[in-house]
Structure 1
Amino acid sequence: MLDALVTFGTTPIPFPFDKEDVIWIVVLCFIISFILGIALGANDVANSFGTSVGAKVLTLYQACFVAALFETLGALLLGYKVSDTIRKGLFDPSLYQGFEELLMIGNLCALAGSCIWLFIATGFRIPVSATHSIVGASLGFHLVAFGGEGVNWRVVVLIILSWFCSPAVSGTISAVIFTILNYTVLKAKNQLRNGLLSLPFWYFIVFFVNLFSIFYGSSEHLPPSYENMQKQNGVVISHPDNADGTTKTQGFKLVKKGTAEWDAVKDTPDVRAICAPMQVMSACFAAFTHGGNDVSNCIGPLISLWLIVTTGEVSQEQLTPFWLLFYGAAGISVGLFLLGRRVIQTVGEDLTPMTPSNGFAIELGSATTVLIASNLGIPISTTHCQVGSVCATGFVRTRRAVDWRLFSGIFSAWVITLPITMLLSGALFGFLQHTVPNMLVYPVYPTDILETMF
């Protein structure tokens, strides 16, 4: 009789746990999720407008306002599509059937581990992948709970490959775009005339790439990590360094910001007038798609936990609540205003001299790379694409005015993001297993429990 009543909906399905016992987890997750949004806004969102600030096309505060607007719009209009990957694309959530509280604790640890790492990276002005952070943190607690069972290792392998592939691809595309712009406009005798003639072509490319990525591929890509450009350390090139104009062979040298060679990289007023609007437009599109795809990095685990609390199930089949998307977007916007200037300076000013012409090539090249990866189903990081494009265009333009030492430090941070966040999340999860009342003390598999019961 009870089964019949439940089937016809006259009696609610009993929850597998007491909500009062987990309310503290819910409260903490909401707090940490907002803080993680702040960290994400401070670190990851800064990439979208870092080049615009570095090229002096927008002021810092103008960039923050525009970025916050387009990030929020992207999160509200597109964010629900990508949250599924973070919630259930890394491992099989059905393993936690009957262990719902365990998954809730895991989501709390994932948010906390990712949050800690993003704040550390932001403190050192290092742009890292927010997606890789939450992916590593989510894997960390799951590996402690169930080992490698149910893990989607294909996603993990693609993330590792993206460290090397996405920066190289993005850098190559941006370098090609800048080379075309360089020979058709920058080196032309009449820059204004050539620039105006080429404007319809470039505007078509910008609108095509960005609108196509928004309406077609945005739901499929999992911007995780990126990094590494071409293997250029140790490459021998020639420079006309001697006073007599002859060349001498040498390896790369870290021409730093503030040197004469660095400060000599400038656009003419005509080139700035042509490229500046295109750069701002590309940055707006980048912020919109970033908000749609990366808001899930700060609220994905929170959505998972909220659905467990409200439905009592771990299936994660329900749609993402709209108000949670706004909650994540609010945290991102706050972080951008409070701390975004730190990473904006690294991406937009410290890696290479930034002007509207190479800034436009960077934005368009990275957006194109994300579009390609989206439609191939390959998870890459918008952060990695941006930095790869910055270094590539800087190398093509000046050969030397790129801070490769800074780049190597950024790349090292990208590589350790996944293991660090896995360790942070796993350690927190292990600690809570031993301290929270009624929690499982050791990693337990459902099959082991069934064997002991029967």
Structure 2
Amino acid sequence: MEIQTMNKLEKEALKKSGTDFTRLGFALFFMIGVLTFSFLSNGGISNNMFLAVAALIGAYMAMNIGANDVANNVGPAVGSKALTLTTAIIIAAIFEAAGALIAGGEVVNTIKKGIIDISAFGGNPDPFIWAMMAALLAAALWLNFATMMRAPVSTTHSIVGGVMGAGIAAAGFSIVSWATMAKIAASWVISPILGGVIAAIFLFSIKKSIVFKDDKVKAAKQYVPIFVAIMSWAFVTYLTLKGLKKIWPQVVETLNMLPLVAIEMTKKPTLTTALIFGLITAVIVYFFVKTKVNSSTTTLENNKASVNTLFTIPLIFAAALLSFAHGANDVANAIGPLAAINDAVVNGGISSKASIPLWVMGVGALGIALGLALYGPKLIKTVGSEITELDQIRAFSIAMAASITVIIASQLGLPVSSTHIAIGGVFGVGFLREWLHLNDVGRTIEDDKQAIIDEKKNLHAYNAELKTLEAKDAKIQEDYERIVELYKFIADEEKQIKTAKKSIKKTKKVEFVKREAIKKIITAWVVTVPAAAVLAAVLFFMIRGIMV
């Protein structure tokens, strides 16, 4: 038996190591391919080796974004079993790449969010190139480590920390915009709280209007189309604002060719325009879903599990749209510094903005998709099932929070992280479940508390009587019998009080959110910027030491 067990363990170990080597092989093949392509296609440029190495690091960073950040978009859908892990990876990879290539920004700020003042480099491109290379590599290494530890962290904060640390190493602390850094630190609190509160509100609304009703099928028939329409409104608004910035002029030109349509030409979509697009879509979706729900209610059972199935299709669309918008926006985290290095190498100077060549955008898009496929499952499982148990309704609420929070925060000028919002949403639905549980068992807790009060009164009376009897000088037979009886009563009362206290403690101790996961994730969030900064500073000094 032991030999068979050892053989099984050996086979599993060989299988796992074989899979790990295969993944590593694909990743190395992609990075070496990017290195070779960049070197050969820019052969006539001086310092082209710097650009080729930067492209390799950019590819590494893109894969780490795919492995870590994309889990927030599809993790809840996988955890709720609306999507299988394989299907989620395929959908996310396609839409992440599509978002990056179709709607990724044509021009990106080379210094992410204005973290450092590029004038401090004095127009010298060499230290600037070294700093950007160090920032990119530091952010990628930190993301790699966080993924290994199953901690979903902000890729934006990773690259921000990298740029800050490399900038300080290159030109001192005065180069950093500390006001911007203060806003980013504020986002550590703002993002998860907003995401958690909005997710909890939607979950409670769905439970109150559908799940808690006696006739759940009738309630679902009335309210599911409304909730899905609201989701459509939020997502189309979100996608218009965040995902169509690059191609907005072409979208306006196309729409203005239609009869009775006249949209003012702007550089990017306004909130009003996005809300109108969302409202039109929401109305169409409402009637479509209402028809579908009406036709399916005859086959639905009057229970929560059956109602959950009505949110499966909306969740799949939510995962796809979140992935598209994420690819359009966060691809800059991988290729922003790479675009800056490319611009500095090609033009021999430093610019605050740089056009992104198609090949650079392709590195970001393909790298994100590949990283998700190879190393994404770890974080997808963490987000989807290792923080709190999710079903379709809870995952739907988290997706709603992700889109609505970004819209609200962007209009208020609040710095938020999509990672922190999504994880905050997971925490929000988990803590709401705990609160609802305590309310469900509240009557039991009150009964136990009242029992403790009554038992203590009896215990006090028994002890007082016992003290009086024991103080008597001349005791008769009945006194001794009563003393024995009182000792028994006191022991019983103390036992009942102890039992009631244990019952209260056990009832309150039910946790639907794993506390260890909270500690690990929050620690990773707080450490991300300083860790990436220190690592980037060390890497900058190493690169400068090699080059000088």
Q: Which bracket does the TM-score occupy, shorter chain normalised?
A: 0.7 to 0.9
Query: In 2, distance between residues paired with 1:95 and 1:29?
Result: 22
Among 394, 414, 430, which residue is 1:358 paired with? 394
Q: Name the structure 2 match of 1:410.
A: 521
Cα offset, 1:313, TM superposition: 2.4
Counterpart of 1:5 in structure 2 is none
> What is the letter of the counterpart of residue 545 of structure 2?
H
The correspondence for 1:163, drawn from 180, 183, 188, is 188
Contact 1:272 1:356 in 2 (8 A): yes
* Aligned residues between the structures: 374
Say whether residues 1:178 and 2:203 are aligned partners. yes
> What residue in structure 2 maps to residue 397 of structure 1?
433
Deviation per CA, 1:422-450, whole angstroms, max 9, x where unpaired?
A: 0000001012222213xxxxxxxxxxxxx
- Identify the match of residue 194 of structure 1 among 211, 219, 226: 219
Contact 2:109 2:354 in 1 (8 A): no
Equivalent runs, 1:56-67 vs 2, <5 Å: 56-67=81-92
The answer to whether the 8 Å contact 1:75/1:288 transfers is: yes
2:356 to 311, 320, 340: 320
| 1:330 paired to 2:441 | no
The alpha carbon displacement at 1:188 in A equals 1.6
1:385 and 2:421 correspond: yes
Please name the residue that 2:161 is paired with.
136
- 1:118 aligns to 2:229 (yes or no): no
Answering whether residue 50 of structure 2 is matched by residue 25 of structure 1, we say yes
Give the corresponding residue for 2:480: none
Shifted more, 211-220 versus 335-344: the winner is: 211-220
Contact 2:203-2:429 at 8 Å conserved across structures: yes
Whole-Å Cα distance in 2 between the matches of residues 186 and 82 of structure 1?
47
After superposition, the Cα gap between the structure-2 partners of 1:333 and 1:342, relative to the gap in structure 1 and judged at 3 Å, is same
**Structure whose CA Rg is larger:** 2
2:539 — aligned with what?
A: 428
Cα distance, 1:321 vs structure 2 = 2.3
- Relative to structure 1, the CA distance from residue 94 to residue 297 in structure 2 (aligned partners, 3 Å threshold; closer, same or farther) is same
Q: Where in structure 2 are the equivalents of 1:145-294 lying within 5 Å?
A: 145-217=170-242, 268-294=304-330
> Contact conserved, 1:353 with 1:401, CA < 8 A, in 2?
yes
- The whole-number CA distance in structure 2 between the counterparts of 1:337 and 1:318 is 30
**Which residue is equivalent to 2:108?**
83
CA contact (8 A) 1:82 1:292 kept: no
State the AA in 1 paired with 2:538. Answer: A
Structure 1 pair 84–196 and aligned structure 2 pair: CA distance change class (3 A): farther
Higher percent of residues as helix: 2
Higher relative contact order at CA 8 Å, sep ≥6: structure 1 or structure 2?
1
Query: Does 2:129 correspond to 1:104?
Result: yes
For the Cα contact (< 8 Å) 1:133–1:421, is it kept in 2? yes
Root-mean-square deviation over aligned CA pairs: 2.0
| Alignment deviations for residues 269-302 of structure 1 (CA, whole Å, 9 cap, x no partner) | 3222211122222222211111111111111100
Secondary structure class of the residue paired with 1:315: coil
**Once the 2 structures are TM-superposed, how far is the Cα of residue 203 of structure 1 from its aligned partner?**
2.5
Segments of structure 2 that go 5 or more residues without pairing to the other structure are: 1-42, 246-302, 436-510
Larger mean CA deviation between 422-431 and 395-404 belongs to: 395-404
Counterpart Cα distance in 2 of 1:20 and 1:296: 24
Aligned partners of 2:312 and 2:392 also within 8 Å? yes
Q: Secondary structure at the match of 1:295?
A: helix
Secondary structure of the 2:173 match is coil
- List runs of 5+ in structure 1 lacking aligned partners: 1-17, 221-266, 438-454
Q: 1: CA distance between counterparts of 2:376 and 2:59?
A: 16
Counterpart residue identity of residue 532, structure 2? T
2:407 maps to 1:371: yes
Q: TM-score normalized by structure 1?
A: 0.78
Paired letter, 1:147: G
CA contact (8 A) 2:46 2:345 kept: no
Moved over 4 A (4+): 18-21, 85-88, 217-220
